[in-house]
Amino acid sequence: MLKWKLFIFDTMEVTVHIQDYFDHSHTKLSFEIFPPNERMTLKSVMAAASRMVGYEPDFMSVTFKADGSGGDQTVQIAKAVDHIMGVPSIAHLTCSGIPKSELEDRLAELQEANIQNILVLGGDSKRELGEYAYLPYAKDMVRYFKERGDFTIGCACFPEGNNPALSMEEELDYLKEKVDAGADFLTTQMFFDNEVFYRFLDAARAKGIDVPILAGIMPITAAGQIRRIADLSGAKLPRTLTDMVARFGDNKEAMFDAGVTFAEHQMADLAARGIDGVHVYTMNKPAIPERIVNDIGSLFR
C-alpha cells in the first residue's frame, strides 16, 4: 500500500547516519536513482524520486557521473530526498580523475547541504592514475572524508570480482583496506545468483570484513539490459533469467513482469537469510519499487 509522506519544504532536518540503521531488526530496503542525462531532465528525476520515497525505503542513494557533468545535481537531488522528502539519502562520489580543487569544492558542497552519507567509488576513468588524480583510490578518499567531517561512508564490492588480473583473495585484501580506512558499509555490484553472494559474504567475513554488506539487485525489465550488463559488469546470468529474456523480451509488459518477479525471488531469499540490506538499482523507474513493495514489502519491515 502506497503511503505518501508529508513533505515540509521549509525545514532543514539533521541527516540520519545510515550506519545507525543496521540494527539487525530487519533486512533494510533501499533504492538507487541517477541524476539527469540526455534522456531525463532534472524535473523528471525529481518526480521519479518523489514517487519512490512514497514506498518508504529505509534510504535512497543518488549516483554520480564520473565525468563530473552531473555531480552538482547529485548533491542537489540527495539534499531534496533527505531534507525535503524525508528519506535519508546517500550521495555518490567517484575519485576518478578528480583534482584537489574539485574535491575540496565537493566537500564544501556536501557540508553546506548537510549531507552526511556518501558512497565513495574508485570510478572507471583512465584518468584516475594520471596527472589530474588527487586521490587515485577509493580507500584514499575514505580517509579524506573521515578526516574532514562526521560522514558515514560506503564503498562498492564485487561478488564476482572486478579486476580479471586479481584473485578473489587479492580483491578481498583490497576491500579490507577500504574498511580499515573507515568505510562503514559496503554495497555489491549487481548479481543474479544468490549463491554467488553468499559465497562472497562468507569469504568477506572470514577476511575480517565485518561491516554491513548490502546486496545490489537489478530487475531486468527489458531485453537490452542483458547485453549492457554482460558488457559492463560481467555478472553471470542464470539460465532461468536468459530463458525469460528469450521468451518475453519482445513483449514489454511480460518482460517487466518476468524481470521483477525474478528479482523478487532473489530478494525474498536474501531477506529470509537475514542479510543486512537489499539495494535496488531502479534505473529511475518508479514502477519497479512500486511493484516490489506491493508484492513483498512486508519482508523488509
Enzyme catalytic residues: 32
The 3 state secondary structure assigned to 127-166 is HHHCCCCCCCCHHHHHHHHHCCCCCEEEEEECCCCCCCCC
| Cα–Cα distance list, 150 to 16, 117, 118, 182, 185 (Å) | 11, 9, 11, 12, 15
Q: What is the CA radius of gyration of the chain?
A: 18
Pairing verdict, β 28-33 and 277-281: parallel
DSSP state of 299: G
CA 270 to chain CA centroid, Å, is 16
